Chains A and B, each alone.
Chain A
Amino acid sequence: MFESIVLLCIQRFKGERTVSGIFNMLTGKRSSQTMQDAKAYQLDHLFGIFPELDRRRLDTLIDEMSHSGEIVLNEQSFPQITETSREPSTQTFPYFKGMTWHEVVPAFIARLNLLVQASSNKEAGIQSYVAIVDNPEAQLWVKKVFATFQNKLARLNQSLYEELEKLLSAHDPVQAELFTHRLTGGGWIGLTLDQLKEKFRMSKEDVLLGLRHTYYYLFQRAKMDQDAYPVLHLCTRGLQASHLVTASAGKTYQLIAHGLSLEEIVTIRRLKKSTIQDHIVEAALVTPDFDVSPFLTADQVVEINQKAIDLNTQRLKHIHQDLGGVYDYFEIRLALAHGRSTHIERKPLP
């Protein structure tokens, strides 16, 4: 799974991004560059899905893949797929939606794990035990749930079991194994990563990703269908999709919304012009109705986007040159960002 994911990143990046670009994508680095890449190269579903990724493991994998000829490193030593590369299978991880959910999935994991433990222990009559989750917010949350469902805890437990059983039955069987063996409750203690690795003869990366993917799956299914999965839905409550902008970009965005010009914002915020431009592009990426008119006309946006499609690249330099140097890099980035978030009509990718 890890290999597939990395291969997909390489394929989508088209030899235009470094290994660091892949690393930042998977670990969810909050920089304008990474967030723009996520949109531009259609990797936003993988943004921030693997925060515990070890950089050395990624480097090793890239080395191995280039040794085996699976990928090549181009003249700038950016990884690139070859004609013989496998088509990366997205089938094993269709539920990742990192850009939208990666900020709240950890809270869901903490709640679910603790609720399973507390609920199943109660059912089994186990009163004194060490909480599997150390997070005070999750502990408070479970306490509240217990207080609310005082008399219906047995039913809650039964429902939680049935919901998990139902969802896991429709899930990848290996991932279902990982998930259930990681759980603690009813007198059974979950396995460590090391033990899961050994039991299922998988790499540590695949164990972590398999678990994470299952949580994404459960989270989204439960979030969408409260009637079918009432208890799991409870675990998702209050956890909202993120509209990802860095805090600083948020401030700039507010000033733009108040109608200030780029130059005025530069003066007020005492930041470099290029930084403010980064913020504007970032805001355009995540805000579908972002108003680009102070910077570009609608026709110009279409022209730039069409050029990117024709050239099949996201490389600003190529687009800039091919358009005869009429637009500066900021304008091109803004147009592409706006195009991504508003889905301007365009020819399908070849």
Chain B
Amino acid sequence: MSTQLASALKKYFGFDQFREGQEDVIRDVMDGNDVLGILPTGTGKSLCYQLPARLLQGTTIVVSPLISLMVDQVKQLKASGYKSVTALNSFMDIKEKKQVIQNLDRYDLVYVSPEMLQNERLQEDFRRMTVPLFVIDEAHCISQWGHEFRTDYLKLHRIIDSIGSPPVLALSATATPEVQGDIMEKLNRPGMIRHIHPMDKQNISLSVEEVQSPEEKTDRIVNILSHIHAPTMIYFSSRQWAEKVSFVLREKLSHRTAFYHGGMEQTDRMLVQQQFMSGQLDVICCTSAFGMGVDKKDIRLVIHFHLPAQTESFIQEIGRAGRDGKPSASLVLFTKKDHYLPQMLIQSELPEREQLDLVLGYLKRQEGQELLEDASIMEQLQLSESQWNFIKYQAEERGVLNHGKVQPFPMDFESRLHALLRERWTYKQGKLTEMLTWIHHTGCRREALYQSFQDHIRPPYVPCCDACGFSVNHLTFQESQETPAAESWKERLQMIFHQGPPHA
């Protein structure tokens, strides 16, 4: 079986081998089992159903929460030569939709949004077809404890049963055992085989240090880096601080340092990312905007100058260290006042109650009309981008916004939106509290950080954490190779065109 799978992998996707975790999931899926797979982002989650979809007879259904995500995936698959895939979504025009639906059984793989799946006619079509596998991507959306809770997901189990109870594969990148249990319960599949990719990193030492002021944080970083020469990331939650600290480091240290944030010009963003990837930078001062598609293996140290608003983000960010498996470390610097910043972040992400009422009133007055473009609405109503996105998304989902036009509100639209907002506030506050609790934890940090994600924490093969006796002062990384800088434009041109003395 495994050689068969391996040759299919080579044939359809051009890969020589599976990444960690993929093969186990796929094998169980091919055997007709219900599977719950928790695989961190960047591990090739989607291959877990894309390969079976090619091999199984019939049409595999994938429920995906984001239309943009679906469209992207279909594009990518088509570009790689996999043509019999499509995405059904509310943005297709009627003709297009009709055409796809009429030929539904010709596709190997159909992406669909949970909202679309509520359509009776579509369910009817699926009933007549052979559906060998039903996939739920971003399955944490099913759980009220997952961070993108969506109510239409709750109806999935009925639909699955009505189309002949095909095997179910639920996938997610982050799900605590609590969320995992909830997913299985809501899907009514208590016997799912779990494949939980462990989150804990055995090669990363953890540490937290309290200081009195942001300036002291900077001093401490200078102090630490003066005896460490290795690829280092420093996370900030504000652009200004990322820039400011990078200037100080450049002034006080010989490390090649740059900043990176979403406010930079597109080309420069890419250049900084590429410089870091290719070892032409040692230290990068960045916001969470850095990272998409960055797979640098030899990052040795991740410092958090500011706290993220939830442990999931934190785990993901420190997970950028030590992808090569070699010893690495994480350091969080915090002051007593540091909870304000993530608090403000949450505030800028979610609208307040009064703001929501304001927007709802505005939308009501616009009924039957084309909505202005996002930027002018945000300005007119004084909303941040994510505040507006939150409301707009819900309005689109409930049909209040249809092709840019405002429709009459469904009866419970306002009350449900308010309820959802309350829930999101409570949830985000809870997440922040969790993060802060970890910062002040006095026992083993490794256990405290990962215990909500997995039952068993593996013993690290590096010093564990500050509570267990580790300190970044013990680190002695000296791996950055000073790449020779060009002395003159002639030399630089020679280096680029490989005309001069060769450099490794």
B268 close to A192 (CB less than 8 A): yes
Question: Looking at the complex, which one of A164, A191, A193 makes contact with B493 (CB distance below 8 Å)?
Answer: A164
**Is A157 located at the chain interface by the 8 A CB criterion?**
yes
Decide: A188 near B495, CB < 8 A? Known: A130-B274, A173-B489: yes
**Is A186 located at the chain interface by the 8 A CB criterion?**
yes
Decide: A187 near B278, CB < 8 A? Known: A180-B486, A193-B268: yes
Interface string of A148-174 (1 = CB under 8 A from B): 000000000110110011001000010
B497 close to A189 (CB less than 8 A): no
A77 to B158, CA, bound (A): 75
Which residues of B sit under 8 angstroms from A165, Cβ to Cβ?
490, 493
Which of A90-98, A116-124, A293-301 is near enough to bind chain B? A116-124
Q: Which of A96-148 contact B (CB under 8 A)?
A: 116, 120, 123-124, 130, 132, 134
**Is B265 located at the chain interface by the 8 A CB criterion?**
yes
Residue of A nearest to B259 (CB): A194
Which residues of B sit under 8 angstroms from A134, Cβ to Cβ?
266-267, 270
Decide: A185 near B496, CB < 8 A? Known: A176-B489, A180-B489: yes
**Is A250 located at the chain interface by the 8 A CB criterion?**
no
B278 close to A181 (CB less than 8 A): no
Interface string of B492-504 (1 = CB under 8 A from A): 1101111100000
A272 to B275, CA, bound (A): 55
Which residues of B sit under 8 angstroms from A181, Cβ to Cβ?
486, 489, 492
Which residues of B sit under 8 angstroms from A173, Cβ to Cβ?
489
**Is A19 located at the chain interface by the 8 A CB criterion?**
no
Which residues of B sit under 8 angstroms from A198, Cβ to Cβ?
250
A232 to B441, CA, bound (A): 63
Residue of B nearest to A157 (CB): B497
| Most central of B271, B280, B496 by chain A CB within 10 Å | B496
CB distance from B399 to the nearest CB of A (A): 35
A183 to B267, CA, bound (A): 12
B271 close to A120 (CB less than 8 A): no
**Is B488 located at the chain interface by the 8 A CB criterion?**
yes
Decide: A161 near B497, CB < 8 A? Known: A177-B488, A180-B489, A181-B486: yes
Which residues of B sit under 8 angstroms from A130, Cβ to Cβ?
270, 273-274
A193 close to B489 (CB less than 8 A): no
Which residues of B sit under 8 angstroms from A120, Cβ to Cβ?
496-498
Which residues of A sit under 8 angstroms from B250, Cβ to Cβ?
198
Secondary structure of the A side of the interface?
A: helix
Which residues of B sit under 8 angstroms from A179, Cβ to Cβ?
489
Q: Which of A172-217 contact B (CB under 8 A)?
A: 173, 176-177, 179-181, 183-195, 198
Question: Looking at the complex, which one of A160, A164, A186 makes contact with B498 (CB distance below 8 Å)?
Answer: A186
Which residues of B sit under 8 angstroms from A168, Cβ to Cβ?
489, 493
- B contact residues, total (Cβ < 8 Å): 26
Question: Looking at the complex, which one of B258, B486, B493 makes contact with A192 (CB distance below 8 Å)?
Answer: B258
A1 to B493, CA, bound (A): 24
A192 to B492, CA, bound (A): 15
Which residues of B sit under 8 angstroms from A184, Cβ to Cβ?
271, 274, 496
**Is B163 located at the chain interface by the 8 A CB criterion?**
no
Question: Looking at the complex, which one of B265, B275, B486, B497 makes contact with A193 (CB distance below 8 Å)?
Answer: B265
Which residues of A sit under 8 angstroms from B273, Cβ to Cβ?
130
A132 close to B490 (CB less than 8 A): no
B493 close to A189 (CB less than 8 A): no
B278 close to A189 (CB less than 8 A): yes
A189 close to B280 (CB less than 8 A): yes
Which residues of A sit under 8 angstroms from B493, Cβ to Cβ?
161, 164-165, 168, 180, 183
A123 to B498, CA, bound (A): 8
Which residues of B sit under 8 angstroms from A193, Cβ to Cβ?
265, 268
Question: Looking at the complex, which one of A176, A177, A183, A194 makes contact with B496 (CB distance below 8 Å)?
Answer: A183
Question: Looking at the complex, which one of B270, B278, B488 makes contact with A132 (CB distance below 8 Å)?
Answer: B270
| Most central of B266, B274, B490, B493 by chain A CB within 10 Å | B493
**Is B272 located at the chain interface by the 8 A CB criterion?**
yes
4 closest A-B pairs by CB = A192-B268, A161-B497, A180-B492, A180-B489
A interface residues with partner B (beta carbon < 8 Å): 116, 120, 123-124, 130, 132, 134, 157-158, 160-161, 164-165, 168, 173, 176-177, 179-181, 183-195, 198
- Give 13 new A-B contacts, CB below 8 A, not counting A132-B267, A158-B497, A198-B250: A120-B497, A120-B498, A132-B270, A168-B489, A176-B489, A180-B492, A181-B492, A185-B497, A186-B498, A189-B271, A193-B265, A194-B258, A194-B268
B interface residues with partner A (beta carbon < 8 Å): 250, 258, 264-268, 270-275, 278, 280, 486, 488-490, 492-493, 495-499
Q: List 25 A-B contacts (CB under 8 A).
A: A123-B497, A124-B498, A132-B267, A132-B270, A132-B271, A134-B266, A134-B270, A158-B497, A160-B497, A161-B499, A164-B493, A168-B489, A168-B493, A173-B489, A176-B489, A177-B492, A180-B486, A180-B493, A181-B489, A183-B493, A186-B497, A188-B495, A189-B275, A192-B271, A194-B258
